[in-house]
Homo-oligomer: A and B are copies of this chain.
Amino acid sequence: MSNYYELWKYLDIDIDRHDELMAILPDFFKDVYLSQKNRPEGMNYFNLVVSSIHGLRPKELVELRNKGKKVVGTFCVYVPDELVFAANAVSIGLCGGSQFWVPDGEKVLPKNLCPLIKSFTGAKLSKTCPFFQCSDILIGETTCDGKKKVWEILNKSIEIYVMNLPQMKREQEYKEWENELNLLKNKLESLTGIKVSNDMLASSIKMINNKRKALKRLYELRKQNPVPISGKDVLLISQIAFYDDPERFTQKVNVLCDELDERIKKGEGVFEKDAKRILITGTPMALPNWKLHHIVETSGAAVVCEETCTGTRYFENLVNENGTTLDEMIKNLAERYLETNCACFTPNTKRIEDILRLINEYKVDGVIGYNLQFCTPYAVEYYNVKKALEEKNIPILLIESDYTENDTQQIKTRVEAFIEMLK
């Protein structure tokens, strides 16, 4: 395929509607990202990946499919990429971060539902996302009511395999989750026709751990004052982490980190020294949802950490690499994944411990609780998060928002007042 239009036609993309989408993105990216000062050179790779988002990587994926690989779309940090790669398939985290797709989602879903779910549903049904179009199967999960139920609608358009994620973390749920990973392995094996071997699983565990280590390294550098990279840039990297080739991604993040090491030596940063440091905690921010970071970082503060699924929850905790049999490795995977603290579990007090630890580690001045509208688990859990922070006199502000721009000015006013108030 000599150009992306051929690719998109091949993928049965609705070209006219897709053109509308593509017409919005470049200016939006330019406004939010390219306007930043003193960006690291290492961001050029990520700029390229995002500016050719519906071309570069989808083209690679189609080429891999033509060589016989299967492409597996996922939606959640609890779905283990390791198993997908070990079965000789490619895992891509599908997104739904744009308002563009919401009206199409609302044709089959209630309006008062999380924008992320409406967005990815619209992306599939409107045939305007090449990542959905080149997925052979989607792996859903029972994380929240909205996602649990949307698979029953989306499965009319594409095969969906649903993993039953436990809702508690007692001993029995660890076993149930281990069993669930075994079932996924079987499913992937029958999809690809390839049996997962010890070597393949061990090597994919290493590969994904390396990606986690690179992201961890990047996050560690944000602890510096002045901070050597904007929160907005790190958010972009996290978003790309979900669908890029894992080995290349890891390498590019490490190259960037080398550059940031140099900056730190020189005491160089992207914000003034002692700029107010913000931790964002709550729901994920799928590409291209950059709203809150953009508001915070054009209001004089720096986002230094995200306790979200597009933040620490994605890369914290490594899989133990000491397993030698498949059973041991799957047990290790099960343990690592259930350590992640999402509000879909009850109780989920360890998330509050995570937040308090991150506040301390990243020398945070104030916390913004971010909630996608109608995300019930995080919305209800916020009460206990706020209480825990107030007990320690840590300022916290709740921002609930959707993907429209309707509330941008109002959020900016509130965020500015919040930053102003930080000592």
Binding site for B on A (CB under 8 A): 108-110, 112-113, 142, 144-146, 148-153, 162, 164, 166-168, 170, 172-173, 176, 179, 343-344, 346-348, 373-374, 376-377, 379-384, 400
Best-surrounded residue of A172, A179, A346 (most CB of chain B within 10 A): A346
- Which listed residue, B162, B168, B176, touches A346 by the CB 8 Å rule? B162
Residues in B neighbouring A170, C-beta threshold 8 A: 164
> How long is the Cα–Cα vector from A374 to B376 in the complex, in angstroms?
9
Using Cβ atoms and an 8 Å threshold, which residues of chain B touch A109? 380, 383
Closest 3 CB pairs of A and B: A149-B380, A145-B376, A110-B379
Contacts of A168 on B, CB cut-off 8 Å? 142, 162, 164
Interface core residue of A110, A113, A145, A374 (most chain B CB under 10 Å):
A145
Q: Which of B172, B346, B383 contacts A148 (CB 8 A)?
A: B346
**Copies of this chain, whole number:** 2
User: Knowing that A148-B167, A151-B346 are A-B contacts, what are 18 other residue pairs whose CB atoms are under 8 Å apart, sorted by A's residue number?
Assistant: A108-B383, A109-B380, A110-B376, A112-B373, A113-B376, A142-B346, A144-B145, A144-B376, A146-B376, A149-B343, A149-B346, A152-B346, A152-B347, A152-B384, A153-B380, A164-B167, A172-B176, A176-B176
Q: Can you list 14 pairs linking A and B with CB atoms under 8 Å apart?
A: A110-B376, A110-B380, A110-B382, A112-B373, A112-B379, A113-B380, A145-B380, A148-B377, A149-B380, A150-B380, A152-B384, A153-B384, A164-B168, A374-B376
Which B-chain residue is minimally distant from A179 (CB atoms)? Answer: B172
When chains A and B are docked, how far (Å) is the Cα of A380 from the Cα of B170? 30
* Distance from A387 Cβ to chain B, minimum over Cβ atoms (Å): 9
A379 to B145 Cα, complex, angstroms: 10
Distance (whole angstroms) from the CB of A369 to the closest CB of chain B: 11
A65 to chain B, nearest CB (A): 29
- Report the separation of the CA atoms of residues A382 and B148 in the bound assembly, to the nearest whole angstrom: 14
Contact between B381 and A152, CB atoms less than 8 A apart:
yes
Are A149 and B374 closer than 8 Å at their CB atoms?
Answer: no
> A377 to B346, Cβ gap below 8 A?
no
Min C-beta distance of A55 to chain B, whole Å = 33
CA A146 – CA B343 in complex, angstroms? 11
Q: Which residue of B lies closest to A144 (CB)?
A: B145
How far, in whole Å, are A220 and B344 apart by their CA atoms in the complex?
40
Contacts of A149 in B (CB 8 A): 343, 346, 376-377, 380-381
Minimum C-beta distance from A112 to chain B (A): 6
Chain B hits for A382, CB < 8 A: 110
A167–B151 CA distance with the chains assembled, in angstroms: 13
Specify the chain B residue showing the minimal Cβ separation from A379: B110
Contact yes or no, B142 A167, CB < 8 A = yes
Q: What residues on B are CB-neighbors of A384 within 8 Å?
A: 152-153
Complex contacts, A145 vs chain B, CB 8 Å: 144-145, 344, 376-377, 380
Known: A167-B164, A167-B167. A146 touches B380 (CB 8 A): yes
B-side contacts of A383, CB under 8 Å: 108-109, 153
User: Which residues of chain B come closer than 8 Å to A144, judged between CB atoms?
Assistant: 145, 376
* Residues of chain B within 8 A of A348, CB atoms compared: 152
* Cβ contacts under 8 Å, A148 to chain B: 167, 346, 377
